[in-house]
Amino acid sequence: MQDDPVGYSNIRDCVVQITMQDREHKNTFSGRLITGLSEAFERVRADERCKAVVLTGYDSYFASGGTKESLLQIQDRKISFTDSNIYGLALDCPVPVISAMQGHGIGGGFAMGLFSDFVVLSQESVYTTNFMQYGFTPGMGATLVLPKKLGFSLGQEMLMSAKTYYGRDLKDRGVPFPVLRRAEVLPYAVELAENLAEKPRISLITLKDHLVSDLRAELPSYIEREVAMHDKTFHQPEVRDLIQSRYAGG
């Protein structure tokens, strides 16, 4: 359904496409988007035919991180980003996941995409872990996955500076992912998924389990430390002011 914030389709035999398409909220982590993503990955887990997943967004948006309302609720100590485990959905998925980031990846949205087994970026899109622009330290496992996937120096720079980078800038910095024109991102990801789907499912699951075992083992302790940093940084009055001002008119 067009109104569904998360689309689920079998685009090829054994290949599933999960599409984040919450146009109302520009793919920020609204309650409906979180629920839709969780349900979609549960369907993948239950589908014994599925061998690969392509995770993508719509138009110029991949995923945009927390909503204004959720950030203010965290600031008020009413919720935590750990209340839902969307950051770990791709990592915990038994079969390989390809993040086709055809659009902007912002904050937790970028971190979530990096937890996939394969990442494809768009030259024209922007990517940022902009937590520190709001005055609070990163969450969503970003402090683990950025240095791990991008290299320590670039990962640290993105986390601490909170700067915005175009995909073409990251390509120039040597990120180890394909960086393509936006229109080429999804077809490339689908072709990669089809290549994976030629392999036996049990072999794909077994190899993924082995390759991501260290990342899965490390993530809980990083999440615990990120929550502890939030206890120190998220509840400052200036953080609330920054959230309010940066979302003004948005």
Whether 4 contacts 21, CB under 8 Å: yes
Place of tokens 């980031």: 101
> Which residues have a Cβ under 8 Å from the Cβ of 1 and sit 6 or more positions away?
none
> Which residues have a Cβ under 8 Å from the Cβ of 45 and sit 6 or more positions away?
93, 94
Q: Which of 104, 210, 230, 235 is catalytic?
A: 230
Concatenating the DSSP letter of every residue in 191-246 gives HHHHHHHTS-HHHHHHHHHHHTHHHHHHHHHHHHHHHHHHHHHTT-HHHHHHHHHH
104 is catalytic: no
Place of tokens 């800038």: 169
CA distance 117 to 99: 8
The rounded Cα 9 to chain-centroid distance in angstroms is 19
- Residue 51 one-letter amino acid: K
Strand partners, 12: 15
For the chain, the distance separating the N- and C-terminal CA atoms, rounded to the nearest angstrom, is: 26
The rounded Cα 33 to chain-centroid distance in angstroms is 12
Whether 12 contacts 194, CB under 8 Å: yes
The rounded Cα 228 to chain-centroid distance in angstroms is 22
List the catalytic residues.
Answer: 230
